Amino acid sequence: MAGTGIARSPCILLVEGDPLITATTLRLMRHLGYRTLPPASTVAEARTRMLEKPDAVLLEISLRGGESSLPFADELMATGVPFAFFSGYYIHDLPARFASCRIVMKPVGDQVLTAELLALAGWPGGRPGAGAGTGEGAQTRSSVAYDLGPDGIPPSADPAVANDP
């Protein structure tokens, strides 16, 4: 990666259900110098891609067919794999167990995406407070718990609601 002093560019797994967002985000990550694994659009695909040992994961919350990625996020947390939610959801929409996780709000520009990806594993050039969800484009929330709906998605996961400022 030019200008970051990293000898080997980080390898990122994108888990995203929307083909257009997947293509755009992969193009941006590759343009920025990241190595990418083939993207996953389901939790089953993501689990298979994890055999390739990515350095970090960008994880959409609601995948193809409305599948929730939160159980996979639990697995990533348990195994210590750095990840950030990559979503239009607000961090306060997530269950309390994800309070310390990073979330990168879509849409995202190259500077914010670069800083957030670098911060996931504490690489040079990442935002201060890696893992704390701080900085422009990332959020944290209070420890207030929110329940999931019957489909495993937060109640305000409706894109029309979740993207309102």
pTM comes to 0.70
CA distance 100 to 26: 26
Q: What pLDDT sits at residue 110? A: 81
Nearest Cα to 85, choosing from 147, 9, 74?
74
Three-state DSSP class for residue 68:
strand
At 42, give phi and psi (nearest 5°). Answer: -140, 165
- Provide the residue ranges of all domains of the chain, joining segments of one domain with +: 11-145
Residue pointed to by tokens 């239009």: 88
| CB proximity list for 157: less than 8 A, separation 6 or greater | 61, 62, 89, 93, 149
Identify any residues that bridge with 138 across adjacent strands, giving them in sequence order.
104
Structure tokens at 37: 């694994």
For the chain (165 residues), the mean pLDDT of every run of 10, in chain order, is 57 94 90 90 97 94 92 96 89 88 86 82 49 37 32 39 35
Establish whether the linkage from the previous residue to 155 is cis, with ω within 30° of 0: no
Q: Which CATH code, of 3.50.50.60, 3.40.50.2300, 3.30.200.20, 3.40.640.10, is assigned to 11-145?
A: 3.40.50.2300
Question: What integer pLDDT is reported at residue 111 of this predicted model?
Answer: 84
Instruction: From 160, 18, 26, select the one nearest 89 (Cα to Cα).
Output: 160
Q: Which of 99, 14, 29, 109 is nearest to 63 (CA)?
A: 14
